[in-house]
Structure 1
């Protein structure tokens, strides 16, 4: 039960961070695309990649990885909001932007995870 509570608390911190980052991006940049959500998902994917790399190559304890990846990043990242925003774009006739938002987010997030894992592997000396 303690593990579930800690993951829930870390998820709450992640959700609060998502709210702040999304709001900050939206306040600074007006765009048809959902830039706040895209930034959140991209940075969250990079963090999950770094955590995964640290678990694989640097001996990060499983509990720490669980709290960071499942807890914090689970609350921070939001695929569901990205899909809702794409549907809203499509509903107002912005189908091209909807597809670009989803495809761009997917490709960039996969690349960010791979980059995070590779960076930790390079720093730890496991990848050349």
Structure 2
């Protein structure tokens, strides 16, 4: 499989995820950032379900990995999550950074369990 094809799959997934995120943001309007909460939680669940359903990262083909990770990366705001976690660590607020990371990981583990459950 050539690199251009794999990069295209990643870009296609990312583009579709970004469009869906924007569509949700247009429909979920509120004074609080509920659309961001929705896409991050839903994206975590989707990632876990897809990984579990497709047999895990070892069993997934390269094109599946690129499409799934591209979609979830474009759909969620985990780049902001990563940046904010780094800033919390740099400011020595380890408890806040750890809480942020643990909550996100817990959602992914729950979703992965759900994905594995769906495979039965």
Q: Which stretches in structure 2 are left out of the alignment for 5+ residues?
A: 84-95
Instruction: Kindly report the root-mean-square deviation, in angstroms, between the aligned alpha carbons of the 2 structures.
Output: 2.8
Q: Equivalents in 1 of 2:80, 2:48: separation in Å?
A: 21
2:75 counterpart of 1:76: yes
2:16 counterpart of 1:13: yes
Where do 1:34-113 residues align within 5 Å? 34-56=33-55, 59-68=59-68, 70-81=69-80, 107=103, 109-113=104-108
Q: CA deviation at 1:23?
A: 1.7
The alignment's TM-score, normalised by the length of structure 2, stands at: 0.67
Q: Which stretches in structure 1 are left out of the alignment for 5+ residues?
A: 85-98
Q: Equivalents in 1 of 2:45, 2:100: separation in Å?
A: 15
The alignment's TM-score, normalised by the length of structure 1, stands at: 0.64
Aligned to 1:4: 7
CA contact (8 A) 2:45 2:110 kept: yes
Q: CA deviation at 1:114?
A: 1.2
Q: Equivalents in 2 of 1:60, 1:54: separation in Å?
A: 10
- 2:55 aligns to what SS in structure 1? helix
Relative contact order (alpha carbons < 8 A, sep ≥ 6): 1 or 2 greater?
2
